[in-house]
Amino acid sequence: MTVVTSPSGERRPTVIADDIHLTYKITGKFAQRGGVVALARAVTGKTSPGMREVKAVRGVSFTAWEGEAIGLIGPNGSGKSTLLRGIAGLLTPAAGAVYTLGDPALLGVNAALISTMSGERNILLGCLAMGMTPEEVEEKYDDIVDFAGIGEFVSLPMNAYSSGMGARLRFAIAASKAQDILLIDEALATGDAEFRQRSEKRILQLRERAGTVFLVSHSLGVVRETCDRAIWLEEGLVVMDGETEEVLDAYESRHDPKKAAARREMRAAEQAREAAEQARGADAKAAG
Ligand SMILES: Nc1ncnc2c1ncn2[C@@H]1O[C@H](COP(=O)(O)OP(=O)(O)OP(=O)(O)O)[C@@H](O)[C@H]1O
């Protein structure tokens, strides 16, 4: 990854994706496409397994700026998680490039914590791995445990946790450090309502500290609450990139038209109510 420096000295770009293509190569028995391959192998007598490519991201470009929280939305399999992994530098682009200012930290439900070790040890090792000093870890420790809401479980091995508890602990560890670029994959979906609220607040705080947050979520509500920009992907391509409300409205119109119509009605009613209130206020002022 290459570091981009600010030409203007003002708001700086933190991530630039330049026509990035991300492809998975599947080899071995998983690459076989059912009977056709089996028949071909029977005919040719070849035993070497085939190889198949999945073009998960097929030419995506955008520039992300300091202080932005960007929601990646799209149906299942549209390439959201793959793009996030590309930004994190975990996948090498087949074509194009990603440039980042600072180190991106990927926080996902699969973030590597060690299930046979206690929450305590995982907090220590996770924080050290993120570059904190032992003193910093000590300082943050209680906050992380509180934020994760795992209480006494912290002293037990993580394989005794429910999947929600594990996900909350992962989020709490990753969000304890002010990251330049924080990438969050569906982590919020696993928490209960109260934890979601706390996480949303945390994302807003991270944004205030001038970091850039990318959030992959199936919950348009969470994206609405936390992101000021949304990128809509379909089949590995960007359909729309812009202000959250606009993108989500367009997305809902395509995928959930009833909900989109209901939301438009609600908004119109709200605007009418505000206009009536303003008019009443103006009347009262004129009369008084
Ligand atoms: N490790 C992998 N190996 C091969 N193909 C993969 C792998 N991970 C994802 N894919 C494929 O890449 C495409 C994009 O998947 P990706 O997980 O990025 O989509 P997504 O939008 O995050 O989906 P979801 O909303 O279901 O999580 C899909 O066709 C998926 O099957």
pLDDT in tens, 212-237: 999 998 888 889 988 999 999 999 99
> For residue 30, what pLDDT band results from cuts at 50, 70 and 90?
low
Residues 126-139: what's their mean pLDDT? 89
Q: Answer yes or no: is the C-beta of 176 below 6 A from any ligand 1 atom.
A: no
Residues 6+ apart with CB under 8 A from 37: 50
Q: Answer yes or no: is the C-beta of 51 below 6 A from any ligand 1 atom.
A: no
Whether residue 89 contacts residue 15, with contact meaning beta carbons closer than 8 Å, is answered with no
pLDDT digits (tens, 9 = 90+) for 72-92: 999 999 999 999 999 999 899
Dist. CA 206–CA 226, nearest whole Å: 11
pLDDT for 203: 80
- Pick the more confident residue, 179 or 55: 55
> For residue 191, what pLDDT band results from cuts at 50, 70 and 90?
low
Assess whether pLDDT exceeds 80 at residue 33: no
Closest CA to 66 of 106, 108, 100: 100
pLDDT for 281: 87
- Stretch among 34-38, 66-70, 113-117, 267-271 having the lowest mean pLDDT: 34-38
Residues 6+ apart with CB under 8 A from 173: 113, 122, 123, 126, 127, 130, 144
How far, in Å, is the centroid of ligand 1 from the Cα of 279? Answer: 52
Dist. CA 50–CA 28, nearest whole Å: 6
Residues 6+ apart with CB under 8 A from 208: 67
pLDDT for 94: 96
pLDDT for 8: 53
Q: Answer yes or no: is the C-beta of 190 below 6 A from any ligand 1 atom.
A: no
pLDDT for 286: 83
Q: Answer yes or no: is the C-beta of 199 below 6 A from any ligand 1 atom.
A: no
Dist. CA 2–CA 242, nearest whole Å: 25
Assess whether pLDDT exceeds 70 at residue 40: no
Whether residue 252 contacts residue 95, with contact meaning beta carbons closer than 8 Å, is answered with no
pLDDT digits (tens, 9 = 90+) for 229-265: 999 999 999 999 999 999 999 999 998 888 888 888 8
Which of 29, 60, 78, 232 best tests ligand 1's pocket when mutated (most atoms within 8 Å of CB)?
78
Assess whether pLDDT exceeds 90 at residue 70: yes
pLDDT for 9: 56
Q: Answer yes or no: is the C-beta of 79 below 6 A from any ligand 1 atom.
A: yes
pLDDT for 131: 81
How far, in Å, is the centroid of ligand 1 from the Cα of 58? Answer: 13
How far, in Å, is the centroid of ligand 1 from the Cα of 284? Answer: 59
CATH topology of domain 2-22+56-108+177-255: Rossmann fold (3.40.50)
Q: Answer yes or no: is the C-beta of 81 below 6 A from any ligand 1 atom.
A: yes
Q: What is the dihedral of CA 60, 66, 72, 78, to 10 degrees?
A: 20
pLDDT for 80: 95
What tokens appear for 5 in the block? 């420096």
- For the question of an ipTM over 0.90, the answer is yes
Radius of gyration for the alpha carbons in the chain, expressed in angstroms and rounded: 23
Residue 236 CA, closest ligand 1 atom number = 14
Q: Answer yes or no: is the C-beta of 226 below 6 A from any ligand 1 atom.
A: no
Q: Answer yes or no: is the C-beta of 215 below 6 A from any ligand 1 atom.
A: no
- Pick the more confident residue, 216 or 196: 216
Most confident of 82-86, 165-169, 268-272: 82-86
Which of 23, 24, 51, 84 best tests ligand 1's pocket when mutated (most atoms within 8 Å of CB)?
24
Per-domain boundaries in the chain: 2-22+56-108+177-255, 256-288
**Ligand 1 atom 27: the closest Cα is on which residue?**
76
Whether residue 63 contacts residue 238, with contact meaning beta carbons closer than 8 Å, is answered with no
pLDDT for 189: 63
